[in-house]
């Protein structure tokens, strides 16, 4: 298998090179390596082909952007950037599902009413509890609600109930929004691997279309691809004495789940 070379290295330009710099580099190399100037030189002929292949990609704005984002996988025939992004998002969601559960830190301030930490109990920060260690979970989305108070309650403090939307991760897809059930991937034929070849640049890599699973994924039928089910819940909030108009409170554990979409 031929060793893969970076297309920018093939042309001898940095990744920040402008279109004009790429074009100039190509013309110089093409003139130097042209078969007419290098008769019976197989190495020069191959380099000439590699330079042409690299220029074909880097001189095209769309192809260059895809190459910068996805690398060699973007060189394969029939590559679809939108499809690749969707598969990458699916893979990220799958990794989130396997993330160990850990307690979020206790955190109160007057900037957010609800933070995006999953769960509904008072959490303990493992950094503040000697002898206890737990991984921290990714942060979910904030949920906001407004509570109106009488002037006397604002002065003395009061406990009020507010209704907030709650996103429960879909138990069918575990918050991913997609399922792995589906027909075999047309791009890799179900193997999960594809051979990328561009000039003499060749490699065997994971199929970006199916993420290496060998089959197409489909939106979860149970949640419609959202990754969660929505319900409402009443939450009691303790308003401290002397709260100003427009003040906000952060309540840990009452935001939407990490898997919510």
Query: Could you state, in chain order, the average pLDDT of each consecutive group of 10 residues for the chain (261 residues)?
Result: 74 94 94 91 92 93 90 84 76 49 40 36 39 45 69 74 80 73 74 72 73 71 78 81 69 55 37
Judge contact between 168 and 120, C-beta under 8 A: no
pLDDT score of 85: 80
Total-model pTM:
0.38
Show the CA angle centred on residue 11, arms to residues 29 and 16, nearest 5°.
Answer: 135
pLDDT of 82: 82
DSSP code of residue 176: S
- pLDDT of amino acid 160: 79
Residues whose CB falls within 8 Å of the CB of residue 252, separated by 6 or more in sequence, listed in order:
104, 105, 106, 107, 108, 115, 117, 122, 123
Q: What is the CATH number of domain 7-94+184-213?
A: 1.10.287.110
| Model pLDDT, residue 120 | 34
**Three-class secondary structure of residue 206 per DSSP:** strand
Tokens representing 242 are 């002397």
The token pair that represents 199 in the structure block: 């000039």
What is the Cα 106 distance to its own chain's centre?
27
How do the domains of the chain map onto residue ranges?
Answer: 7-94+184-213, 104-176+222-239
Contacts of 85 (CB under 8 A, 6+ apart): none
Per-residue confidence (pLDDT) for residue 93, from 0 to 100: 52
């Amino acid at each position: 298998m031929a060793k893969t070379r970076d297309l920018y290295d093939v042309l001898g330009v940095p990744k920040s090179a402008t279109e004009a710099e790429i074009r100039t580099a190509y013309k110089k190399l093409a003139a130097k390596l042209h078969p007419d100037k290098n008769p019976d030189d197989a190495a020069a002929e191959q380099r000439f082909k590699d330079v042409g292949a690299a220029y074909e990609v880097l001189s095209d704005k769309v192809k260059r952007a895809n190459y910068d984002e996805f690398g060699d996988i973007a060189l394969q025939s029939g590559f679809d950037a939108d499809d690749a992004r969707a598969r990458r998002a699916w893979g990220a969601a799958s990794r989130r599902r396997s993330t160990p559960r850990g307690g979020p830190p206790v955190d109160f301030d007057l900037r957010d009413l609800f933070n995006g930490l999953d769960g509904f109990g008072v959490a303990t920060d493992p950094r503040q509890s000697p002898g206890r260690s737990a991984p921290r979970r990714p942060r979910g989305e904030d949920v906001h609600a407004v509570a109106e108070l009488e002037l006397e309650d604002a002065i003395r403090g009061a406990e009020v109930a507010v209704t907030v939307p709650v996103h429960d991760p879909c138990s069918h897809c575990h918050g991913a929004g997609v399922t792995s059930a589906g027909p075999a991937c047309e791009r890799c034929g179900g193997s999960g691997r594809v051979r990328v070849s561009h000039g003499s640049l060749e490699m065997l890599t994971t199929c970006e279309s199916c993420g290496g699973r060998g089959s197409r994924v489909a939106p979860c039928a149970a949640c419609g691809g959202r990754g969660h089910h929505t319900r409402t819940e009443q939450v009691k909030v303790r308003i401290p004495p002397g709260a100003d108009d427009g003040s906000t409170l952060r309540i840990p554990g009452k935001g939407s789940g990490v898997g919510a979409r």
